Amino acid sequence: MRLAFLTLLAALCHAAEPAEGRWEGTIQIPGTGLTAIVDLAQSAGGWIGSATVPGFTKGAPLADIVVQDSAVSFTLKGALGDPKFSGRVDAAAFDGSFVQAGNSAAFHLRHTGPPQVDLPRQSTAVADDLAGDWLGEVTLGGNKLKASLKLTNHSGGAATAQFVVTGKRETNIPIDLVRQEGDFLTVVSSQYRIGFEGRLHEDAGELTGTFAQGPIESPLTLRRAQ
């Protein structure tokens, strides 16, 4: 009986957090409405969350999450200029203000189910046949740009990358995710919303894949630098 009572008490305490869940609705940007999906969940270390705005970002992490009774605020990191959401929730609705670069818009979200937080992917080391320098060309907006990627392993840790795109000027893209899964490599710059996903063809000394900046994609083949 005591165990059943404690289990029920724990369930009631957990259910008392109205912010936890999946919230779907719109951000009322002037002239249009942006669809938004926000997931908020409690973990052992506190609140975690992610958000998807179709056409702009998918599963972007939430930071600075503050939940005090029905008041909720957080920042969407790495997309849309790192906007801040702040509002109030109840069992069915989450309404408030979306603030980005000094501009404010109302958002209206509705509870649609349990949270499905996209946890941030972590960088990994890369295999020896991927480490080193790679060169290629990518076409963006009708212009051919040179691309170079340097992958470096670090003792006991994940790999890092230098990704440089050169046209009329040279742009060193800050990379915050380097991940190898089998023959596939993923390199991401959350700040620039740029990514490269490619497959290693070791016999040919090539990485073939796609360069993406936001919704714009272009084929990119990188070859081992001589």
Same domain? 98 vs 182: no
What does the pLDDT read at residue 192? 83
Instruction: Write b or e for each residue in 83-100: b if 16 or more Cβ atoms lie within 10 A of its Cβ, otherwise e.
Output: bbbbbebeeeebebebeb
CB atoms inside a 10 Å sphere around CB 80: 18
Does residue 10 fall inside a structural domain? Answer: no
For residues 163 and 146, give the distance between their C-alpha atoms in angstroms, rounded to a whole number. 11
Does residue 122 fall inside a structural domain? Answer: no
CATH number at residue 168: 2.40.128.20
Q: Could you give the number of structural domains in the chain?
A: 2
Question: Comparing C-alpha atoms, which of 166, 161, 160, 171 is closest to residue 138?
Answer: 166
What does the pLDDT read at residue 120? 77
For residues 39 and 29, give the distance between their C-alpha atoms in angstroms, rounded to a whole number. 21
**pLDDT more than 90, % of the chain:** 66
Same domain? 97 vs 138: no
Same domain? 78 vs 109: yes
Same domain? 109 vs 21: yes
Please give the structure tokens belonging to residue 164. Answer: 């440089």
Please give the structure tokens belonging to residue 50. Answer: 């992610």
20 — pLDDT class (breaks 50, 70, 90)? very high
**Range of the structural domain that residue 52 is part of:** 16-113
77 — pLDDT class (breaks 50, 70, 90)? confident
Does residue 184 fall inside a structural domain? Answer: yes
194: burial class by Cβ within 10 Å (0-12, 13-18, 19+)? buried
What does the pLDDT read at residue 26? 97
SS3 16: coil
164 close to 175: Cβ distance less than 8 angstroms: no
For residues 118 and 76, give the distance between their C-alpha atoms in angstroms, rounded to a whole number. 13
Residue 82 CA: distances (Å) to CA of 33, 95, 97, 150, 209 = 18, 19, 14, 28, 28
Alpha carbon 98 to its chain centroid, in Å, reads 18
Q: Which of 59, 79, 113 is the last residue of a domain?
A: 113
57-66 mean pLDDT: 90
CATH number at residue 58: 2.40.128.120
pLDDT at 2 over 70: no
What does the pLDDT read at residue 196? 95
What does the pLDDT read at residue 204? 87
For residues 11 and 14, give the distance between their C-alpha atoms in angstroms, rounded to a whole number. 5
Same domain? 29 vs 102: yes
Does residue 6 fall inside a structural domain? Answer: no
Q: Which of 113, 142, 167 is the last residue of a domain?
A: 113
Same domain? 33 vs 105: yes
Does residue 2 fall inside a structural domain? Answer: no
SS3 142: coil
